[in-house]
């Protein structure tokens, strides 16, 4: 860390930015970027747009959600090349970035619209993720040190390949079996996976799981958990599921004998998908399937009562 980082925090800004607010005309916007998994240096450009006033400097806080990456550096760009920048990382994973003009009285002239700063994040441990970058507590000053009204724009980082899960639908009656396909869309190879599957309402039982053409050579096992069943798909020979889309499993369910007519949700939760070296993919979606029970369980008439003198009529209560 530089001496500036150690000595300047809010005091720095209280000193050069007296509180006098112009009408809002400055935007500091984080970019949306996409990088490969395990990227060592993730670069997020910061764009400054100042229509009406010159800008002498700004400060903001930033955090990734979830906090899988932290800020590791800042570099000056474009019209900000003659400025200075520094940052501090806090214990919660957030960071404070300071961008200021240390070389002279002139700021970035009004009418600028471009990248002035690059933020750097270390993604060497992240195979796959979609991270929101939030900017907050933004303060912007003009070349005289007076605060101008400003707004910040959030960004995002998409890292590597993400996974999409879904289940299909089927229809049946009580005591019948139905089959649903478990689909996966993956742009990277998959070494194995697990997920929980359960029904709402509890009208069906999982009776079988079988692999498909995409998962030939894999083994599938499942066991009861607190809610539903936990499914594990793996290959003892260290094979992989190639990138692509379509069914990876066929699930067979039996409908309960007392299941009423209804649409039963087949829910997929707690999905974990790994690559060939054990890295974990980001799960973008896990959409439920449906078992439609029809006509369903129909209760037999009960509490029949025959009334004297009403030979042609039986009341059902």
pLDDT (tens digit, 9 = 90+) per residue, 187-208?
999 999 999 999 999 999 999 9
| Per-residue pLDDT tens over the stretch 223-278 | 999 999 999 999 999 999 999 999 999 999 999 999 999 999 999 999 999 999 99
Handedness of CA 98, 37, 280, 269 (dihedral sign): positive
**2-6, long-range: CB < 8 A, 24+ apart:** 2/86, 4/84, 4/86, 4/98, 5/86, 5/87, 5/88
User: What's the pTM?
Assistant: 0.70
Provide the token pair at 103: 């070389």
Contacts for 218 with CB less than 8 Å, ≥ 6 apart: 211, 233, 234, 235, 239, 241
pLDDT at 6 (0 to 100): 34
pLDDT at 106 (0 to 100): 79
- Domains plus CATH for the chain? 3-159 (2.60.40.680), 162-296 (2.60.40.680)
Q: Where residue 24 falls among pLDDT bands split at 50, 70, 90?
A: low
Share of the chain above pLDDT 70, in %: 87
pLDDT at 3 (0 to 100): 35
For the chain, what is the mean pLDDT?
90
pLDDT at 108 (0 to 100): 94
pLDDT at 18 (0 to 100): 42
pLDDT surpassing 90 at residue 103: no
């Amino acid at each position: 860390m530089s001496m500036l980082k150690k000595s300047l925090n809010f005091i720095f800004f209280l000193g050069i930015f007296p509180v006098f607010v112009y009408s809002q005309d400055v935007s500091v916007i984080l970019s949306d970027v996409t990088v490969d998994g395990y990227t060592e240096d993730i670069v997020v450009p910061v764009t400054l747009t100042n229509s009406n006033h010159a800008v002498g400097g700004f400060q903001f806080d930033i955090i990734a959600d979830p906090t899988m990456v932290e800020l590791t550096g800042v570099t000056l760009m474009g019209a900000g090349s003659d400025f200075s920048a520094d940052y501090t990382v806090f214990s919660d994973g957030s960071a404070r970035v300071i961008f200021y003009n240390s070389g002279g009285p002139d700021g970035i002239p009004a009418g600028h619209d471009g990248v002035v700063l690059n933020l750097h994040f270390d993604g060497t441990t992240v195979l796959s993720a979609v991270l929101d970058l939030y900017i907050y507590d933004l303060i912007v000053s003009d070349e005289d040190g007076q605060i101008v009204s400003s707004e910040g724009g959030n960004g995002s980082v998409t890292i590597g390949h993400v996974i999409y899960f879904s289940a299909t639908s089927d229809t049946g009656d009580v005591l019948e079996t139905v089959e649903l396909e478990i689909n996966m869309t993956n742009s990277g190879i998959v070494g194995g996976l697990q997920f929980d599957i359960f029904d709402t309402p509890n009208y069906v039982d999982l009776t079988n799981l079988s692999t498909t053409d995409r998962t030939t050579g894999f083994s599938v096992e499942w066991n009861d958990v607190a809610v539903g069943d936990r499914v594990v798909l793996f290959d003892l020979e260290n094979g992989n599921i190639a990138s692509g889309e379509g069914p990876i499993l066929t699930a067979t369910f039996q409908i309960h004998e007392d299941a009423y007519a209804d649409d039963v949700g087949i829910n997929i939760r707690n999905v974990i998908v790994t690559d060939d070296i054990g890295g974990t993919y980001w799960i973008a979606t896990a959409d439920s399937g449906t078992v439609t029970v029809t006509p369903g369980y129909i209760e037999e008439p009960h509490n029949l009562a025959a009334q004297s003198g009403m030979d042609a009529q039986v009341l059902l209560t």
